[in-house]
Amino acid sequence: MFDTLSARLGQVFDKLRGRGALSEGDVDEALREVRVALLEADVALPVVKDFLAQVREHAVGQEVIRSVAPAQMVIKIVYDHLVSTLGSEAAGINLAAQPPVPVLMVGLQGSGKTTTTAKLALRLQNENKKKVMMASLDVHRPAAQEQLRVLGEQAGVVTLPVIAGQQPVDIAKRAMDAARLRGFDVVLLDTAGRLSIDEALMAEASLVRTAVRPSEVLLVADALTGQDAVTTAKAFHARLGVTGIVLTRVDGDSRGGAALSMRAVTGVPIKFLGAGEKLDALEPFYPDRIASRILGMGDIVSLVEKAKATIDEDDAKKMEAKLLAGSFDMDDYASQIKQMRKMGGLDGVMAMLPGVAKAKAQLAAANIDDKLLARQLAIIQSMTKEERRKVKILDASRRRRIAEGSGTSVPEVNKVLKQHRTMADMVKKIGKLGPKGLARHGLPGFPGTAGFGRN
């Protein structure tokens, strides 16, 4: 249902005139699409607005890297900003305090607090070799304390025995006392779900906080959350001084915009991701993964990175000169193919081309895939130096020889020649347009951009 952002931006830039740098107009038009993408990913509106303003400032006037479509350029800028907003630091649990160290788990009803408490306990016990105790302060939800007890049993983590009728602050104090006496390192305090506008319950949590002075107050929030994420995160942070966020249900297929919303309005790091119902399904937070997920674009960004890294600037200059001269021989064709393969093959590069969908359809119609590229390369490599420079001399017998040498067939050799011709024609046209035309097309990327699928 969602168009990917790259497809959308591709459409935007297909319409635009090419320039060497991103103009205000380009950027604004692109950012309108980014806005929709972010909102569809559930990033909260006020956060979207701030975010776009920052990106805009950054993007206007940026040089477009030659080999990369402007759409991808904008995505890259958006993505980088997204990653840095989400926070690049890998924040663990802060246990630097006199043991037993209390950790308070808070959040809305059903967000995953109790499950996350058990997951975290298991992790601290196994990986950090801590002695961990869990206690449920949830005296509201039916069987909540029993739930934590069962999870403790499953995880092999001690839970504080339940005393019927005891209230949250007293349970918290008793947990701390018990942990102190028995030499526990960490006490995880699970609490009842509460609405941020529930004055009585927020006050109760606040009293617990005052009573035990937790070194961490973790807000457990659902990755499926929509626009409410800002309201909830703000309110919990204001009342309880949240120190970290755990985002649950990232094993679902939501786009996870709540991560950005919550991080942006609280400035608090996202510490863990809940990725399943089982107790080992707790992962560290990787901002880049969530950023790609929010933009709904898989690994395009890494392709942009690769393009930057793989394309030697000198090569590019040489190629540019050749293109301007309107010449394009078999060696040039081969180097284009090689570059593509270095960058992750056809599928990868497809995403970087403007008008992706259209080009993709053309390529599909022309039956072009990565294997074919390898065969084409083999064909070109079976040519002599002279043949590569002067394709015209390739008569029937030479073609037969090349087909044999490359383990292909004459029709395949013919096809390569035809495709080379198409490209060379295109290059001539671009050459006539001068440097501006070049900037628009980048290095003519590859056969996919124009003409290739037409045979």
Partner 1 sequence: MTGSTTGSAPALGWLARLRTGLSKTAGALGGGIAGLLGGRKIDRATLQELEDQLVAADLGVRVAGRITKRLGDTRMGRELTPVELREALAEEIAGVLAPAERALDLTAAKPFVLLVVGVNGTGKTTTIGKLAARMRGEGRKVMIAAGDTFRAAAIEQLRVWGERAGAEVVADAPGADAAGLAFTALQKAREAKADVLLIDTAGRLQNKADLMAELAKIVRVLHKLDTTAPHAVLLVLDATTGQNARSQVEVFRGIAEVSGLVMAKLDGTARGGMLVAIAEEFGLPVYFIGVGEGVDDLQPFRATEFARSLVGLEP
Q: DSSP state, 284?
A: E
Q: What are the strands of the beta sheet with 282-284, ordered from one edge?
A: 158-159, 132-136, 186-190, 101-106, 216-222, 244-248, 270-274, 282-284
Residue closest to 333 by CA, chosen among 186, 225, 445, 248 = 445
Residues forming contacts to Mg ion in the complex (CB under 5 A) are 113-114
Residue among 29, 80, 185, 251 that touches partner 1 (CB under 8 A):
251
Task: Please list every residue from 157 through 216 that binds ligand GTP, using CB under 6 A.
Answer: 192-193, 195
Q: Which is nearer to ligand GTP, 17 or 278 (CB)?
A: 278
Interface with partner 1, residue 231, by CB under 8 A: yes
Residue whose token pair is 């209390």: 102
Task: Please list every residue from 221 through 280 that binds ligand GTP, using CB under 6 A.
Answer: 248-249, 251, 274-277
Least CB distance from residue 146 to partner 1, whole Å? 4
How far apart are alpha carbons 252 and 160 in whole angstroms?
32
Task: Please list every residue from 123 through 152 that binds ligand GTP, using CB under 6 A.
Answer: 138, 141, 144
Residue nearest to ligand GTP (CB): 193
Q: Which is nearer to partner 1, 223 or 430 (CB)?
A: 223
Interface with ligand GTP, residue 289, by CB under 6 A: no
Q: Which amino acid is at 188?
A: L
Q: Which amino acid is at 242?
A: V
- CB contact at 8 A, 126 and 118: no
Task: Please list every residue from 23 through 62 that binds partner 1, using CB under 8 A.
Answer: 36, 39-42, 44-46
Buried b (16+ CB within 10 A) or exposed e, 46-68: ebbeebbeebbeebeebebbbbb
Residue span 177-196 as binding mask against partner 1, x where in contact by CB under 8 A, dash where not: ------------------xx
Residue among 4, 225, 292, 406 that touches partner 1 (CB under 8 A):
225
Residue among 255, 388, 415, 420 that touches partner 1 (CB under 8 A):
255
Interface with ligand GTP, residue 344, by CB under 6 A: no
Least CB distance from residue 149 to partner 1, whole Å? 8
Helix or strand run (H / E) with residue 233: helix 228-240
Task: Please list every residue from 128 through 157 that binds partner 1, using CB under 8 A.
Answer: 140-144, 146-151, 154
- Residue 274 contacts which entry, Mg ion, ligand GTP, partner 1, none (Cβ below 5-8 A, type-dependent): ligand GTP
Residue among 81, 123, 249, 441 that touches partner 1 (CB under 8 A):
249
Q: Which is nearer to partner 1, 96 or 200 (CB)?
A: 200
| Other CB atoms within 10 A of residue 239 CB | 18
Residue whose token pair is 């649990």: 93
Q: Which residues pair with 272 in a beta bridge?
A: 246, 284
Q: Is 290 helix (H, G, I), strand (E, B) or coil?
A: helix
How far apart are alpha carbons 57 and 59 in whole angstroms?
6
Site residues (vs ligand GTP, CB under 6 A): 107, 109-115, 138, 141, 144, 192-193, 195, 248-249, 251, 274-277, 281
